[in-house]
Every structure is written in C-alpha cells, then in structure tokens.
Structure 1
C-alpha cells in the first residue's frame, strides 16, 4: 500500500483504527534490531523529517506516518532510523517498502508514530511573534559539530493551512535563544544566588547557613548517604581529600602526592573531636550550572531520545593557612547525572529551567524555584541504582593551589576496593601526558580519524600494548594542546585535543586554565554571547575555530522545553563532557 493509500484508509477508519497492514514489531525485537549495527558508527544525522497526520483532528498524540531522509553520506552507515514518538514509544523508520514506507531503497525511511502537533503549531506562533518583535533580524537555527559552530539555517514559520490531515508537515528544531537568559537558566553565578544566606555559606566571613541546600556540607552529606553506607559525611570527605596525600596508581601511572593538601586544606579545617566540622567547610559556592546539553542523544539507547544531562555545582577553596582567608585557584566541581530519562520528564525539567529566565535573578521566588530543581538531583537516593544511591557522575578538581603545576583530577563512586567512597580515576578522553607529541599519539589519531571526525571514538585504557588513557593531566602553560608529528588530518587532531581536559582548558579554546574562576567569572569561550561567536585560531593550522557555547546550550534548552519528543532525533551527542 502506498502512503497515499494508507492516509486515505486511515481517514476512513477514524481515530480508533489500525492503519498498518503488517503486525507490529514487538518492542524487544525492535530494540535488538536497533542494536545490531556495528559500534563506532557516526551518529545518525537527518537531512529532513516530516509527518503526515492520519487522525482527523491534530492533537498532542496524533497518529501519523513519519518520514525521514538521512544527511548526505549517512546512507552507507545506517539502515534504520530509530525515534521516540510522542506517546513515549520506540519506533524504527525503515526504507523497506513496508509498514507505511512507499518504495524500498528510495532513501526515504518511514514508520507509523504519534506526533505532537499542538506544540509544533505553538512553535510556529512563537516564530511569528519573534519576527514581529524583531523585524530586522532573521531567526536562524545553528548547527554545531561537537562544540564548533559550523552553519546556520533560516527559520520561517509554517502556515497554519499546512496543519491538516493527509498533508506532509515538515518537522524541524527551533531554538529562540532570546527567550533564554544564560545567567538565569544555564550558568548561574550571580551573588544574589551563590551568596544566598539561607542556602549557602561563606567560609571567610562565617555568614550564611552552614547546612544550606547549596553548601558543600549538604552535597557531601547526601552523597555519603550514611543510613545506606554507614560512613559519616566527615569520614567520607576526609578520605577523598587524603587521596592527594598518597601516591595513586591509575592505569599503571603513579599520580604524585600533593602534600600541601595537609597544610592548606585539611590542617586549617576546624574539627569536632577527630572529625572534620562539615559546617566549617572551606569550599565556597561560585556557580550552579545546568548542562542539559550533555543529555543530547543519550535517551533510550539508539532511539534518538535525549536525557536531562548534568547538574553541576562549582566550588572554590578558601585558603586560611596563613591566617587570612583568600579564594584560591582550587576549583571542585560536583557533576550529577540528572535522573530523568523518559522524554516527558526531560521536557518538564527543561521547562522548569527555562521558566527561571522569566524570574528576577536572585529573588525569593527565583531561588526557591532553583532549589526545587537542585534538590531533585542532589538528595540521597535520587538515583537508587547508582553507588550510594547518589546521582553524582563524578567530582572533578582543577587547581594549582597545592603545586605550581596546574593539574586536573577526576573522582568517582563505585570503584574497587572502596565503592562507597570517592576514588581517583582516569580523566575522560585524555591520554597520559607523556604521550603528547609522540609517534604513538599520531598513530592513534591517524588510525581513528574517521571515528574522531564522526564523534564516535573513545580513548582506551591501553593502545599498542601501552597504558594510554591518563589521569591528573598537567598544564604547564595556557599554550597546552595535543599534537604529534605525522598527524595526517589536523581537523581530527583538533577535535581530539579539544575533547581532552587539558586541551579544552587551554589553547584549543584560548582559556587560561579555568572556564569558571574562583570569583565566578567565565572564560571568553563560555561567556561569548550575541552577536558572537568566540573565534580561536587553531594552534597548529591557524584556521579560525568558531565557538558559541551559550547559544548551543540555550538553543537546546528552548527546543527541549517547547518541542515534541520526536524532534530529539535531530540531537547529536556531545563527545566532550567539559
């Protein structure tokens, strides 16, 4: 049956009819089929997506024939296009000439699915409103390749006349970034928030609430989850900090101790008996960060959904070792995986963050709404299946307070032999420092160039029988980046370097070690706003690299908050977590 015949049959049957002439594919079989493609393939990128309503009335769950075309060059990699529809079902679009697909092998992938046309129509109204309010400005949607801005396309509202049964209706993502205030909804560093006396504590002035919901004390207490683990927050915290005082063997590499941890952090920290007084923590909150963008493409496995990303708290250590109290360049970042997975939950989460852009920053209403969001994530047992029941993904540090050599470290729960404690581990996507500028690195980049360019690679523990994935990357100067003689594709080198901890925090983004500093200030890479972007010369080729980080995050937030679940098929997962 052709698609036109399917549409006609559906309209005759009405809302309760089954338009398919084939038996539905069981969900377990669909999942198995979706996962049969080889790993390491480039992520699915769409050229176009459209839906033909089959119901006589367009609703938020309209039965539709959904059709998609892959972007140029994708057909050689992908035989199926999995999506999550607006009923929460996992659906596979195929080019087999069956189950609604008109012609096998014509590069049009089709399947029956539910589509939310109510939100799609509302989005068109918002486009019209934007155009009326900004008559001299063309609304565009930006495309990013990992972190780099590569193109923009004009966005024009669809006519209301298009929204009729039996008519192909284009589906395309829209992100009206002017509706998003980054300082309210993305990177929150306003003094009226991070110094809120009922929710935060200032260890230099001893003011605020030492048990507040945004304090280091509160976060570590919830992470320790004493009723589950039997470990006190004080013991949990001190064990973590003492990892700096002893050599750590990580992937056959010895991480040297930094003895100043004892004199500059643990020594001055007041105690109650032998226990650290958690209400006198030397960690000062400087920012709360919504990383919804890290959820791109991490929804139901392979189906093009998106998760809710991460929630991050950024703290700076205050130094009282010399009798004064000074904010130092020792940043600690708590990075929580937001425990929301089904698309409706993620959409509600995004809507709540977007709503903050309409509130007075730091007002009682704003801070209460932000607290409601953060508490959903940081409380004990927010993620029952994870170690300690904590939603924490990792804790990272970025400092040169303990040693003149700038160093980054990463810690996780769940690692042997102490799974309930934070243990140092490898740093994501970053090789051991001594591999930089070596033939081994060149060999790895050259051998993996297609996967690196497609953002589908990983950095293994070992490569060519040598320990490869690193820990505690050092940066001796802001000119740090990854390179090696013999690399044949500089774009692959650039992407690889940008995705490392040390490359991202230095020359690839023209950053001086910190994207958020002890005063809450943002790097140019992070702060770039309209008219943007922030342009950095490639450290090897000199080619300009255009970054527009806040636009990417704002665009994604707006789209997730306002557009239907099926639009998440356009999302491309970020490779770098930085």
Structure 2
C-alpha cells in the first residue's frame, strides 16, 4: 500500500493548504458594500494601512480519517486527524474545515470537542467523510496509471499561479477502507481529464460564431437576441421587470461614461469622446433608443473561472463571488464609423456563479468537465447546447436575487486602445442598488491596482513593506487611501503606454517576491511585463491568447517563463491553465472535505 508521505519535486516539499484568513473586500475598505461605486465622496473612508486580516493560511502536512461507523458510506462518522507543517502548531490553535455534508467542523489540539489528546500536535475533530468518493478516487488513479504507464501522476500546490511544490500520487489499497483504520485523505487532480479548449477557455469559431446563439455586427448575421450575445447579457442585467430600466437606456448610460471626465476615489478619469464617433453615433436607434439587436459587440470567448472559487474563505478576488467562481464572456467592439472593423476594445462580463453549497458547486464542475468527455466535439450542436445549459444558469435575470438588479454580475471590465491609440486603458464597472446611479453600471476603482502615479514612489514602497506578510500570504487588500486619509491610493484607470514599463516597483522594497505579487495582481502589471503580456491583452479581439494562457492550452504541463522585471536573474514559471484544469478535476470528482482542506483561495483579478 502506498502511503502519501512528503516528497520533493521542483526542490520543495509539498504540503496541503487551507485558508482561514478572511479577506476584506479588495475593491475598497472592508466595511463598504464591495459592489458600490467608489465615488469621490467616499474619501471619508478609514485610511489605516491594510493589515493581514487573519492568521496566515494553515498548511496541512497530512490528513487522515478513522471511520467510527460499522459501514463506510458517503456519510461516515469519522475522527479527522491533521498534522500541520512544522512550526505552524505554534501559530494555530484551531482551524475549520468543511466536511462532506457541508458542515463546518473545527479541528483543534486542546483535548476538547473531539480532539483526542491536548498538545500532541495532532489536530482532530469528529466529522462526516464520504468514503465512497474516496474509493472512486483510488479507482481513477489506477485507471490513469494503466492508461499512462510512462507518466507519473502528481498533484501541484499553487501559490497564486506559480507551482511551489508537487507531489507524487499513488492509489491506496482497497484493504485499508475498514472501520477503525486510519485512512489517508489527499487531493487528486487528473488534468488529462480536462480539455482546456472545451472546459476552461472557449474560443472555437463554431462557438463564438454559432448562428443561433451569437451575432456578428459587421456581417449582420446570426441571432441578434441569442443567448451568447451582448444584447442578451445586457437585457438580462437591466432586468426591466424589476428595475423599470430598458436595456437600451441601461447600455447607453454605461457607455456615456467615456464621454465625460469621471472622478473616482479622487482620481481623474479623462473623457475618451471617440466613444461617440466609433460606437454610439453609428449605432442604429429605434424611437431615439439604441437598437439592441444591432449591438456593435462580437463574442470572442467564454471562460470558466471555477478556480476563483478556491477554498473555504471569501471567494474570488473581491469577495463578491461565490464558491462556484466566475463565468466570463469576452466581447470585442466593432468600429462602424468607417466600414466595420472588430477593434481592440475588449469588454469582459464577469459573473459570480450563484452556487455556494459544495454539492451544487460539484455538480457545476461536473457539467463543465463533461464538455471534455470523449466523443464530445467542440463546437458541435450537442456541445453548444450543453454549454448554453451552463451559461444560462448564471446570466439570466434574477439568477442572484440578493444582488443589484437580481443579476449575478460581479463586474464588467474593459481593456482598450480603440478610443485613443496610446495608452491602453483598463476600467471597471459595477452594479449597485444604491448610490448616485442605482441599478445602473457605474465606474469603480480597479481592484488591487493603485493609481498609476503611486508607482515607483515611496508611497508604494511603504505599502509593500508595511503589508509584506499579508502580501506573501495572499491576504492583503489595496485600500482607498494610504498612508493617510488625504492620500488616495486605490486607482481607477490603469494605463499601459508600453508593456516594457508596465510593472510595479520602487526603490527600497525589502522583499521582491512581495513586490512581484502586488504587481502581478494589478491590471497593468498582469497585462504588461510582470506576466510577459507583450500585446496588452490575454485574449485579443480575434480570440488570440497571450503566452501566459496559451502555453498550457495544448499541454497543461508547459510552463510560461517570464524574467522578473526587477530581479532580472530570476525567472518565474507560470502554469495558469494547469492550475485551472487541476482544480476543475478535483472539484468535479472529490469530496467537499478534500476541496476544503487542500485548496488555497485565489487573490487575483485576471
């Protein structure tokens, strides 16, 4: 029988990770409504430096379950026993996990409430464990080994996009599954069971040009009200029955924000009035309102971001999401001022998947993984119907009744240089049921991205140095103001004049890894040099992918290597698609307990 003891790959020792810290809303101060527009009047917000908002993440060295019931089932009362990485037992006295019924249990080492013995460095609790799922996992491991005799199955531990450790995985003997026996519990993510182009990042022409579901504004072909059109998404988001706002007014109010200067968190966001000449003026109208069936936006990609739902803590980069992560649609604008050309103006709809119960999230993941099944043809009628069944669960009106307009939208982000050639500019918009423009999209701060003028300054240096521990633990936020209330910090319009200079730095930063993490999580750093995004976009207007994404689309084990822009002798290897594929397979096939124990919440925008 193979035990799951620590081994070293990539020069590092593997350990499981479970998050116990609580992130503040990264779009502003934790006490604010994270979906509310951050207008200038919000400068009264507390301006204390952002501190780690909880203990460092718990790192589990090993996790075992001892069945206490006479029969092992999908809900077996068991004694959980966890050992932490050496030294962490001095930091953590207890920590929560979600068991396989969805209940939170607290593992502790104080001899109380299910813990066997105080001070023995074994954290334990009574919980329900799904051994049926665990047995099936062993069968999947054996099947993989049979089909891939020359390939070793491993599980990678990621720290926000980079592999920090990797561990060999082998199947447990079936003899071990008996009452009273200590059974190792461990994560498995079989990435070969996931086809990235079918289940993660979909740009196939038969999907984005589906004549019954999409619309091409340059050829005026397709279904102008199809379920994957800009028209459909904006109509559902406006939710006229609930708000009284027509989709045309909802859309025009949003786009008109480019036509006049905005002030967000005391930052000036200058007008880009080419919005009129290139988008609004050529757009046909009916009765004075935009004809939404002639929307000048073409679908480019549909993206499954289940990975933004990792862990048991706040989900997604803003705390606005759900444990189902996000569903994203990427559109490109058509410039119809002279002829018609699909231009470099990307609009990204980012919906929070309204699924939080572990069983619901698992079903969601299984439906996405099913798109990779043998015999399923990407872009076929059957494939597109299955994909529609997934997307409609999220985008329709009232999919998220407690959110503004009943819409599941988290935010819309834009990335363009079509309105002004240089520089590229990124903006973010959110819905709120209150504020100056209730139930309309309003410009907001750009999450995790300071204002551009704070780059290469002592202010940015002090922010990184003050928050170094939280940054390295992926538990930091970027506050509205820093270091004092009169100094605005969180930005509103990241701009990229050239990719070579699009990264964050300052003389005197004590830890370059902390600098790198902050820079990579900014909009401009991720779309620039920190992620090696030389053409500004991760998905361009024609569906082309950046190297950061494309490296793993054919083979998830292909790294994308980037030279650190400050420590130029340091190379960083990113496995973005492998991370997403491994998490999808784990979520679809393993139990709530394993997902809770061995995944670390993402702190990322892109």
What is the TM-score of this pair, normalised by structure 1?
Answer: 0.91
> Does residue 563 of the first structure (1) align with residue 590 of the second (2)?
yes
Q: Which one of 384, 392, 414 corresponds to residue 401 of structure 2? A: 384
Corresponding position: 1:158 with 2:185: no
**In structure 2, distance between residues paired with 1:244 and 1:71:** 51
Q: Once structures 1 and 2 are overlaid, which stretch shifts more, 348-357 or 100-109?
A: 100-109
Contact conserved, 1:149 with 1:547, CA < 8 A, in 2? yes
1:331 corresponds in structure 2 to 346
Contiguous gaps of at least 5 residues in structure 1: 1-30, 32-36
State the Cα distance separating 1:300 from its structure 2 match.
7.8
**Is 1:311 equivalent to 2:327 in the alignment?**
yes
CA deviations 1:413-469 (Å, max 9, x no partner) are: 005111200000000000000000001110110111111001111100001221000
Does 139-148 or 101-110 show the bigger shift?
A: 101-110
Is contact 1:299-1:342 (8 Å) kept?
no
Partner of 1:266: 280
Aligned pairs for 1:118-517 (under 5 A) are 118-298=132-312, 307-322=323-338, 324-358=339-373, 359-403=376-420, 404-414=422-432, 416-465=435-484, 466-479=487-500, 480-511=502-533, 512-517=535-540
1:9 paired residue number: none
Counting only pairs closer than 5 Å after superposition, residues 80-91 of structure 1 correspond to structure 2 as 80-91=94-105
Say which SS state the counterpart of residue 401 (structure 2) adopts: coil
1:540 is paired with a residue whose SS is coil
Gaps in structure 2 of 5+ consecutive residues = 1-21, 23-50, 316-320
How many angstroms apart in 2 are the aligned matches of 1:76 and 1:553?
33
Equivalent residue number for residue 549 of structure 1: 576
1:532 aligns with 2:555: no
What is the Cα deviation at residue 273 of structure 1?
Answer: 2.1
In 2, Cα distance between equivalents of 1:501 and 1:77: 34
Give the C-alpha shift of residue 89 in structure 1: 1.3
Q: Provide the C-alpha distance between the structure 1 equivalents of 2:81 and 2:488, rounded to a whole number of angstroms.
A: 46
Separation in structure 1 between the aligned mates of residue 589 and residue 559 of structure 2, nearest angstrom: 25
TM-superposed deviation, 1:357? 0.5
Tell me the secondary structure at the aligned position of residue 429 of structure 1. Answer: coil
Give the conservation status (yes or no) of the 8 Å contact 2:207–2:384: yes
SS in 2 for 1:362: coil
Q: CA deviation at 1:549?
A: 0.6
Tell me how far apart the structure 2 counterparts of residues 70 and 501 of structure 1 sit (CA, whole Å). Answer: 35
- Give the structure 2 partner of residue 116 of structure 1: 130
1:236, 1:194 → 2: CA distance? 24
State how far apart, in whole Å, the 2-side matches of 1:306 and 1:138 are: 33
The offset of 1:49, in angstroms, is: 1.1
Contact 1:45 1:74 in 2 (8 A): yes
| Alpha-carbon shift at residue 71 of structure 1 (Å) | 2.6
Q: Whole-Å Cα distance in 2 between the matches of residues 72 and 252 of structure 1? A: 46
**How many residues get paired?**
539
Deviation (angstroms), 1:571:
1.0
Q: Conserved in 1, the CA contact under 8 Å of 2:344 and 2:418?
A: yes
User: Within 2, Cα distance between the matches of 1:256 and 1:190?
Assistant: 36
Aligned equivalents of 2:447 and 2:545: distance in 1?
22
Query: How far apart are the structure 1 equivalents of 2:416 and 2:509?
Result: 31
Separation (CA, whole Å) in 1 of partners of 2:86 and 2:246: 56
Following superposition, the deviation at residue 297 of structure 1 comes to 1.9
The answer to whether the Cα contact below 8 Å between 1:95 and 1:105 also exists between their aligned partners in 2 is: yes
The question of whether the paired residues in 1 share the 8 Å contact of 2:185 and 2:594 is answered with yes
* 1:90 to partner: Cα distance: 1.4
Taking only aligned residues, the RMSD between alpha carbons, in angstroms, comes to 1.6
Report if aligned partners of 2:109, 2:115 keep a CA contact under 8 Å in 1: yes
Shift of 1:306: 7.8
What CA distance in whole angstroms lies between the structure 2 residues aligned with 1:72 and 1:268?
64
Q: What corresponds to 1:77 in structure 2?
A: 91
> What does residue 100 of structure 1 align with?
114
Instruction: Kindly state the Cα deviation for residue 363 of structure 1 after the two structures are TM-superposed.
Output: 1.1
CA contact (8 A) 2:52 2:475 kept: no
State the distance in 2 between where 1:499 and 1:510 align: 13
Given that 1:41 and 1:451 are in contact with CA atoms closer than 8 Å, whether structure 2 keeps it comes out as no
> More relative contact order in 1 or in 2 (CA 8 Å, sep 6+)?
2
- Give yes or no for contact 2:77–2:126 (8 Å, CA) kept in 1: yes
* Distance in 2 separating the partners of 1:194 and 1:523: 18
- The DSSP-based 3-state class of the residue aligned with 1:424 is strand
CA distance in 2 between partners of 1:190 and 1:561 (Å):
24
2:446–2:493: 8 Å Cα contact kept in structure 1? Answer: yes
Deviations 1:74-95 (A, max 9, x none): 3343221211111121111111
